[in-house]
Amino acid sequence: MTVLKEQISKLPDTPGVYRYFDIDNELIYVGKAKNLKNRVSSYFNKSANHDQKTRRMVSQIDRLEFTVVNSEFDALLLENSLIKQYQPKYNILLRDDKTYPYLCITNEPFPKLIPTRHLDRSLGTYFGPYASVKTMHTLLEFLRKLYTIRTCNLNLTQKNIEAKKFKVCLEYHIGNCKGPCEGLVSREEYDKNIDLVKNILKGHLNPAIQHFKDQMQEAAMDLAFERAQEYKEKLSLLEGFQSKSLIVNPNISNIDVFTIASDDKNAYVNYMQIVDGSIIHTKNALVQKKLDESEAEILSHIILGLREEHQSESKEILTNASLEIELPHISWTIPQIGDKKKLVDLSLKNALYFKRDLTQKKEQKGEVLAEKGKRALVKLQQDLQLKVLPTHIECFDNSNFQGTNPVSAMVCFKNGVPSKKDYRHYKVKTVEGPDDFATMHEVVTRRYTRLLNENAPLPSLIVIDGGKGQLGAATQALKELGIYGQIPIIGIAKRLEEIYFPGDEIPIHIDKKSESLKLIQRIRDEAHRFGITFHRDLRSKNTMTTQLFDIPGIGPETANKLLTLFKSVKKLREATMEELTEAVGRSKAQKVRDFFEGEG
């Protein structure tokens, strides 16, 4: 932390992006700043009123990196890019579970218009995403009726066309393609149609309408009445499509509308893209808060991403919340009256409906899970013939690796779901060597001695991960505490998933499809996972300590100091001479450096 504080004191007073890493060198947070020194320092100011999540993040910071940029907006762009790339766990997360469809105009001679769910900007120009596949296909069919765009996958380079490698297909003969494969349409004419398709996809229908009017008049003047009728039909198609668009106000040109509603955990954003007075795109986005982000901060992030996704070129943004940053060449307002205020109200109504729907779905899911959990508990009570419903279950599991670092874990389930705040790890204190039975006796004694001393509620069922031996040890511990018979206790043997009761030689077998056995297995597996994770961490620390003791001239006190400061051998190996010297003095620092350099 000393090295970190010294680095913070030397940060520049300029705009930039800072990155926090934990002891495992994992990027955990990316932030932007108008003034790097002030912003980063604020995290470590003890007088700052940080919320619990922010304090937890700060406690995990092991080092920082920063990048200086020219402006706060440049910092926002870089911050967004890094968050998308690395998705740090403490940055807000835009949740978009659906893979929405797009229309893509490909980057190739005589481009195609294709539907896709795979977004790769290098392959072409993308339009969308579209809220439904039906909407996207309706638009695709409409455009193919208006313009004769090829659908084949031929490589139509000028060289291939001149070499007459291809022949026109059925699409040409039925009038759906102009035959670019045989050079029957020029590249210039084809690209002109593609430009008109792009305008329609962007919501600009007027250029296409004017184009068909001009073509119809020109054909009529040439007395080409069949061609004129063809253009008239296409013009009618286009005008009919325009009439179906939601016209909000023909006097409102190109505007983006962003509104936000939020609760403690999430923000709900609605985006409407308006072109030529029509709403051409609308999208809801769920944002998971990670720290205590303000609505202004969240909107500043989301606006950039959604505008890029929908290729918005509007110079005006309407919103219901202030933005914390100025966007170059783009103005934003919170309208108070008029049609623009009505637009914001419409968008906010969508955001609130979105929030309500997700909240209701979550509540319904919770009710379903609660009902399922209660059903499993009732079945468990029946299968085990328990007097009371086992709403509070505790499960113990021992873990050791080749006799080293014996530990035990206890997990707690309440109403059929994990209660992680009640989980406990135990380092074994009184047992020498690998002795599962003695270990189980110790940790059960410790657990319920504490609950009795604190007058805390006892569980309604104890599960022991193991057979008759471990169950017997746990039972003896309960007897010594004087609570045997007050709490039902069972053991589950892994091999055949048999359930043992104390004193019974013959186990009971619960139907493998039964919800009650599945619940016991889930609790047992969770205890095993929790114990293994703790054991792995201990082994890692012990391995590092052992390596440090191998360094000539480094004793237990210095080894423990290095372990506390650098957390891992990897970090110790990468430490600079200055960092080592600051930690343990120059002489010992040199010994550590020589040892690791000798290894490599």
Three-state SS annotation for 284-314: EEEEECCCCCCHHHHHHHHHHHHHHHCCCCC
Q: What's the mean per-residue pLDDT of the chain?
A: 81
For residues 164 and 183, what is the distance between their CA atoms, to the nearest angstrom?
9
Q: What is the pLDDT of residue 246?
A: 46
Give the count of alpha carbons within 13 A of 188, CB side only.
Answer: 0
Radius of gyration of the chain (CA): 34
Instruction: Confirm if 238 and 142 have CB atoms less than 8 A apart.
Output: no
The predicted-structure confidence for 509-548, as pLDDT tens digits, reads as follows 888 888 888 899 889 888 888 877 654 555 444 544 555 6
Q: What is the mean pLDDT of residues 453-467?
A: 91
Give the confidence band of 451 by pLDDT, cuts at 50, 70, 90. very high
For residues 46 and 5, what is the distance between their CA atoms, to the nearest angstrom?
13
pLDDT surpasses 80 at 276: no
Give the confidence band of 482 by pLDDT, cuts at 50, 70, 90. very high
Give the count of alpha carbons within 13 A of 13, CB side only.
Answer: 0
Q: What kind and span of H or E run contains 102?
A: strand 102-106
Let me know if 266 is exposed, middle or buried by CB neighbors in 10 A (0-12, 13-18, 19+).
Answer: buried
- Mapping DSSP onto H, E and C, the string for 558-577 reads HHHHHHHHHCCHHHHHHCCH
Q: What is the mean pLDDT of residues 262-287?
A: 82
Give the confidence band of 402 by pLDDT, cuts at 50, 70, 90. very low
Higher pLDDT among residues 246 and 180, named by residue: 180
Tell me phi and psi for residue 371, to 5 degrees: -65, -40
Q: What is the pLDDT of residue 487?
A: 92
Separation in Å, CA 66 to CA 38, 70, 89, 326, 487: 13, 13, 18, 22, 56
pLDDT surpasses 60 at 372: yes
Q: What is the mean pLDDT of residues 338-345?
A: 85
Q: What is the pLDDT of residue 461?
A: 95
Closest among 253, 208, 254, 258 to 235, alpha carbons compared? 208
Give the confidence band of 96 by pLDDT, cuts at 50, 70, 90. low
Give the confidence band of 447 by pLDDT, cuts at 50, 70, 90. very high
Q: What is the pLDDT of residue 403?
A: 46
Q: What kind and span of H or E run contains 475?
A: helix 468-481
Q: What is the pLDDT of residue 309?
A: 78
Q: Which two tokens stand for residue 500?
A: 């043992």
Higher pLDDT among residues 175 and 561, named by residue: 175
Instruction: Confirm if 454 and 441 have CB atoms less than 8 A apart.
Output: no
Write down the pTM of the prediction: 0.49
For residues 565 and 572, what is the distance between their CA atoms, to the nearest angstrom?
9
Q: What is the pLDDT of residue 247?
A: 46
Q: What is the mean pLDDT of residues 181-196?
A: 88
Higher pLDDT among residues 490 and 545, named by residue: 490
For residues 88 and 99, what is the distance between their CA atoms, to the nearest angstrom?
22
Query: For residue 99, what are the contacts with CB-CB under 8 A and spacing of at least 6?
Result: 117
